[in-house]
Amino acid sequence: MAINLKEMSKEQDLIAPGHRLCAGCAETIVVRQVLHAVGSPVVVASPTGCLEVASTPYPYTSWRVPWIHNAFENVSSTLAGIETMYRSLVKQGKIEDKGIKFVAFAGDGATYDIGLQFLSGAIERGHKFLYVCLNNEGYMNTGIQRSSATPMGTWTTTSPVGAVIPGKRENRKDVTAIIAAHDIPYVAQAAPHAWRDLMTKAQKAIAADGPSFINVLIPCQRGWRFPPEETIVLSKLAADTCIWPLYEVVDGEWKLNYRPSPKKPIIDWLQSQGRFQHLLTPQNEHVVDALQQEVDRQWSRLLERCKAPS
């Protein structure tokens, strides 16, 4: 099932324009691409977050598909209920099997923090849905607070920068690997600049026989402090510095999808955004070094897992 842009351009977007996401936000770019790859009929669920708030300001909606928001923590459980209901009714012969697909779009707060146990439970039970994490590395909807997806050294409103503390002190958690450890059929990391890679992954994910998960980096101009026209540039820079590698785990097999040449230093990434400006001073050089070491360590581990030459 190749990605055919010409054919896709004739299809209707399943999320309509006129939503209230910020200029330069990558969320609807990714939602459009994923839903084109998944296709109709599809049911979408979103937890509390930027996408939920900005795609459904009363009395409007941008969703051209059945859509449900429940609360912050429970999109996986809500979708699990819908998916199970559908499977059960089909099995009982009460409704026709139309091949309905189920997709969750959730932020990193809802995925990494408050909703992690719900997601873990749902994929352990094997519900057949695609869960897309729109990861902008913070609670941007409530005012740029840190999340456990926020990288070490980052300024946020609750990991403030002062004379002593240089922003967030903890490394982010690797949720993609945590989900992969559940041994579900399909797990991937993607980014909006690599649109063909992202859409191919969405196709593979929705075709998988069981739960699937794609973690997509979402450059956020408000929270990361960069000009809104640079969203896609930053997306590519994240892959080129290896702070956001593109890979997939298919039935337990790790596969690298993109190898930058040359691999750019993390300082390029830090210089591109206001949230890291405090790190560009001599006193915080050690933080930059620690970040580079962490990126290198994780990159080496990923190459090992992917059995790629180091």
Q: Binding other proteins by CB under 8 A: which of 162, 262, 282, 309?
A: 162
Q: Which stretch binds other proteins (CB under 8 A): 70-78, 93-101, 205-213, 292-300?
A: 70-78
How far apart CA 18 and CA 7 sit, in angstroms, is 24
Three-class secondary structure assignment of the chain: CCCCHHHHCCCCCCECCCCCCCCCCCHHHHHHHHHHHHCCCEEEEECCCHHHHHHCCCCCCCECCCEEECCCCCHHHHHHHHHHHHHHHHHCCCCCCCCCEEEEEEEHHHHHHCCHHHHHHHHHHCCCCEEEEEECCCECCCCCECCCCCCCCCCECCECECCCCECCCCCCCCHHHHHHCCCCCEEEEECCCCHHHHHHHHHHHHHCCCCEEEEEECCCHHHHCCCHHHHHHHHHHHHHCCCCCCEEEECCEEEECCCCCCCCCHHHHHHCCHHHHHHHCHHHHHHHHHHHHHHHHHHHHHHHHCCCCC
How far apart CA 146 and CA 108 sit, in angstroms, is 10
Nearer to other proteins, 8 or 178 (CB): 178
Nearer to other proteins, 93 or 162 (CB): 162
Nearer to other proteins, 116 or 202 (CB): 116
Determine contact, residues 164/226, Cβ cutoff 8 Å. Answer: no
Nearer to other proteins, 101 or 168 (CB): 168
* Sign of the Cα pseudo-torsion (286, 224, 191, 268, in order): negative
Q: Which stretch binds other proteins (CB under 8 A): 66-74, 119-127, 191-199, 254-262?
A: 66-74
Regarding 164 and contact with other proteins (CB under 8 A), the answer is yes
From the CB of 215, what's the least distance to other proteins, in Å?
Answer: 17
Nearer to other proteins, 113 or 240 (CB): 113
Nearer to other proteins, 72 or 86 (CB): 72
Regarding 143 and contact with other proteins (CB under 8 A), the answer is yes
Determine contact, residues 214/133, Cβ cutoff 8 Å. Answer: yes
Residue with tokens 């890291």: 276
Q: Which stretch binds other proteins (CB under 8 A): 16-24, 64-72, 179-187, 247-255?
A: 64-72
Q: Binding other proteins by CB under 8 A: which of 1, 23, 71, 280?
A: 71
Q: Which stretch binds other proteins (CB under 8 A): 98-106, 141-149, 219-227, 279-287?
A: 141-149
Q: What is the contact mask toward other proteins in residues 29 to 48, using x (rule: CB under 8 A)?
A: -------------------x
How far apart CA 72 and CA 44 sit, in angstroms, is 15
Regarding 57 and contact with other proteins (CB under 8 A), the answer is no
How many residues of this chain interact with other proteins, rule: CB under 8 A?
23
Q: Which stretch binds other proteins (CB under 8 A): 60-68, 154-162, 224-232, 236-244?
A: 154-162
Regarding 254 and contact with other proteins (CB under 8 A), the answer is no
Regarding 56 and contact with other proteins (CB under 8 A), the answer is no
Q: Binding other proteins by CB under 8 A: which of 102, 105, 139, 244?
A: 139
Q: What is the contact mask toward other proteins in residues 110 to 129, using x (rule: CB under 8 A)?
A: --xxx-x-------------
Which spans of this chain sit near other proteins (rule: CB under 8 A)? 48, 69, 71-73, 109, 112-114, 116, 139, 142-143, 145-146, 148, 157-160, 162, 164-165
